[in-house]
A and B are shown apart, each in its own frame.
Chain A
Amino acid sequence: MLGTLIGVLPGLGPAAGTAILIPLTFKLDPTGAIIMLSAIYYGAMYGGTITSVLINVPGEAASVITCIDGHQMAKQGRAGTALGIAAIGSFVGGIVATIALVLVAPPLAKIALSFGPPEFFALMLFGLCLVSGLAGRSMLAALLMTVLGLLLAMIGIDPVRGAPRFAFDIPDLYDGIGFIAVVMGLFGISEILLAAEAPAGEVVRTKLSKLLPSREEWRRSVGAIWRGTGIGFALGLIPGIGAIVPTFMAYIVEKRVSKTPERFGHGAIEGVASPESANNAYANAAMIPFLTLGIPSSPTIAVLMGAFIINGITPGPFLFQERPDLVWTVIASFFTGNVILLVLNLPLVGLWAKLLDLPFQYLCVGVLLFCVVGAYSLQQSIFDVWVMIAFGLIGYVFRKIELPLAPLVLGLILGPAIEKSMRTSLEMSAGDYSIFFTRPLCLGLLIASAVVLAGAALKLAPKALKET
């Protein structure tokens, strides 16, 4: 319910939404807290669809493509069917991806157990390269943001030697910069600041009574849902790909395989079914690299990782060995969460649509209140509130000039681990860098990282030459 609410409210994406709701989980045990935040995450992924269909404004980035046909369907008086097929597609995508998670995660975690610090360093570097190579239209800008995120993670006590770095004798900085405060600022405050500039879209008034598709619409949707699920799942396994790519790819594939591609853009139900299935399949599949390797694929999963760490749990291969009770309970909750998402959201579509009438002023005050509570309550520190405000302004400026925020957030969360694994590796080899090139898996991952960056550079180079 909360996740869908977050997704529905314009100006609040899943990353900020998940972050600001962390205080609600303080009273829960770690398993309950993680389950609740995971549910908020995929609830938000579905909630974004409602605004895409009804006001042509995506509640979160992954729902951008749903605007095209979903909003057209709403204009034709088929908003209920669009939202219904989105809920069904999301359910199928989520359930299939969770079944695959159950099958794939344990063997992958077993393999990852054989990794040493050099392999982990190379793996995390690979994840960061994927994020940098795939984020935004400028690879240099994405790399710059990754470096900034990694450097921000260096603030505080050195994890290996225990010496303070960039703390400038400010006691609040010895513990480093609070990740949650940064995320709330970058995503929550900056989104509200941006939303304050632009007027909201007009809500399409339509009957939402007919939620289930007609026989003909079913026929068109079944294949689209399966194809979308496959695409979303496959791409969810690749860290850093982001939720936008699978949804766009699902839409493009659907248009290609359609015998009547001219219907796309004019209210084709496949244009909603396929991307929405891909979106939820991606969201659940992205849990595989996160739970088994400790690599967050997106800012929202990075927030989840932050919540794991707050609760004293480190995601990664050891999680399956040390906390099987937690990990399997969380995975089981994905099944129930997806069922509840379908059961609750179909009848409640009308209620969610009504939320769009909430005036911006009240929404704005409410979001800011939750941001302040979230930033303060984590460590009862007013310093974190200042950090949140500062990063809100920084995020606003970065968004204006389109510096991507995802690499910054992933750099910040992976920074300490990547530094620690690199330095431990070099301690193992007494400072000899060849340790990274003599272990086959490590070497393979380093080559893959170089290939990803070179590929992204080659892809962007002709475009850059054309523009200059």
Chain B
Amino acid sequence: MIAERVVLACLCALFGFMAFIAFGYSLSDALGPGAGFFPFWLSLMGVLLSVALLVQSWRGRAIAGRPQALLPRGEGARRGAALVASLVFVALLLQPLGFRLTMLVFSVGLLLALGVRRPVTIASFALVSSFGLFHVFYHWLQVPLPIGLLGI
């Protein structure tokens, strides 16, 4: 329930902020509604709806049928953290390192973090998912993927 209230409060703040920004755009002009009209009223609706849901939550009625903890614990938390960290790694290094090298490191690192301990399997999978996938997308399907500073 606390997690739900935190999320709803964040949404309320976001809608409030968007309403404030939208108010700065013209709400109407000579031709009718302006650029700010739609976002302003939508943001206000968002504020009202999140407040209504917050009130409901405080009165004991959760949105979720079976409220659960927002963050996992133990092994689940470790796996989740590894997934997010690996994605951030990809986003940071995809362009400087290029697709092949980034995905090679990503695959090896994530498989190790998720508990795989077979070196040959990890190496084969990582090669296929980096160099193999690059070949399929870049050469066969002509999907542009980044080539890094090292030319890989």
A residues engaging B (CB < 8 A)? 23-24, 26-27, 136-138, 140-141, 143-144, 147-148, 150-151, 154, 158, 160-161, 163, 165-166, 189, 192-193, 196-198, 359-362, 364-366, 368-369, 372-373, 376-377, 380, 382, 385-386, 389, 392-393, 397-398, 400-403, 419, 422-423, 426-427, 429-431, 464, 467-468
Jot down 7 A-B pairs with beta carbons below 8 A, ordered by A.
Answer: A27-B143, A192-B83, A364-B110, A373-B145, A377-B137, A402-B63, A427-B32
The answer to whether A464 and B61 touch (CB under 8 A), given A382-B91, A426-B33, is yes
Query: Which of B35, B86, B88 is the one whose CB lies under 8 Å from A158?
Result: B35
B87 at the interface (CB under 8 A from A): yes
How far does the alpha carbon of A166 sit from the alpha carbon of B35 in the complex, in Å? 11
Asked if residues A468 and B61 are in contact (CB atoms below 8 Å), the reply is yes
* Closest chain A CB from B53 CB (angstroms): 5
How far does the alpha carbon of A26 sit from the alpha carbon of B43 in the complex, in Å? 36
How far does the alpha carbon of A362 sit from the alpha carbon of B125 in the complex, in Å? 8
A/B pair count, beta carbons within 8 Å: 184
Asked if residues B7 and A397 are in contact (CB atoms below 8 Å), the reply is yes
Asked if residues A382 and B114 are in contact (CB atoms below 8 Å), the reply is no
The answer to whether A401 and B129 touch (CB under 8 A), given A154-B42, A189-B87, A365-B110, is no
How far does the alpha carbon of A35 sit from the alpha carbon of B143 in the complex, in Å? 19
**Which residues, 76 to 128 on B, are CB-close (under 8 Å) to A?**
76, 79-80, 83-84, 86-88, 90-91, 94-95, 103, 106-107, 110-111, 114-116, 125
Asked if residues B83 and A364 are in contact (CB atoms below 8 Å), the reply is yes
The number of residues on chain B lying at the interface, defined by a beta carbon within 8 Å of a beta carbon of chain A, is 72
Asked if residues B94 and A385 are in contact (CB atoms below 8 Å), the reply is yes
Chain B hits for A147, CB < 8 A: 15, 42, 45-46, 49
* Chain A residue nearest in CB terms to B73: A197
How far does the alpha carbon of A147 sit from the alpha carbon of B12 in the complex, in Å? 12
Asked if residues B70 and A431 are in contact (CB atoms below 8 Å), the reply is no
Chain B hits for A401, CB < 8 A: 3-4, 7, 62-64, 67, 70
* Chain A residue nearest in CB terms to B71: A400
Chain B 43-73 near chain A by CB (<8 Å), digits 1 or 0: 1011001101100100111111101111010
Asked if residues B129 and A23 are in contact (CB atoms below 8 Å), the reply is no
Chain B hits for A403, CB < 8 A: 7, 63
B9 at the interface (CB under 8 A from A): no
**What secondary structure prevails in chain A residues at the interface with B?**
helix
* Closest chain A CB from B56 CB (angstroms): 7
Chain A hits for B84, CB < 8 A: 193, 389, 393
Asked if residues A193 and B7 are in contact (CB atoms below 8 Å), the reply is no
* Closest chain A CB from B94 CB (angstroms): 6
Asked if residues A196 and B83 are in contact (CB atoms below 8 Å), the reply is yes
Query: Which of B50, B107, B129, B145 is the one whose CB lies under 8 Å from A376?
Result: B145
The answer to whether A431 and B115 touch (CB under 8 A), given A166-B21, A197-B79, A372-B94, is no
* Chain B residue nearest in CB terms to A366: B129
* Closest chain B CB from A12 CB (angstroms): 14
User: Which of A361, A366, A468 is packed against the most chain B CB atoms within 10 Å?
Assistant: A361
Query: Which of B49, B107, B115 is the one whose CB lies under 8 Å from A143?
Result: B49
The answer to whether A402 and B64 touch (CB under 8 A), given A389-B88, A468-B59, is yes
Asked if residues B32 and A430 are in contact (CB atoms below 8 Å), the reply is yes
User: Which of B21, B64, B69, B140 is packed against the most chain A CB atoms within 10 Å?
Assistant: B64
User: Which of A158, A189, A365, A386 is packed against the most chain B CB atoms within 10 Å?
Assistant: A365
How far does the alpha carbon of A382 sit from the alpha carbon of B18 in the complex, in Å? 25
Chain A hits for B62, CB < 8 A: 401
How far does the alpha carbon of A403 sit from the alpha carbon of B8 in the complex, in Å? 10
How far does the alpha carbon of A85 sit from the alpha carbon of B33 in the complex, in Å? 55
Chain A hits for B144, CB < 8 A: 377, 380
* Chain A residue nearest in CB terms to B95: A382
How far does the alpha carbon of A151 sit from the alpha carbon of B18 in the complex, in Å? 9
How far does the alpha carbon of A402 sit from the alpha carbon of B103 in the complex, in Å? 33
How far does the alpha carbon of A166 sit from the alpha carbon of B15 in the complex, in Å? 12
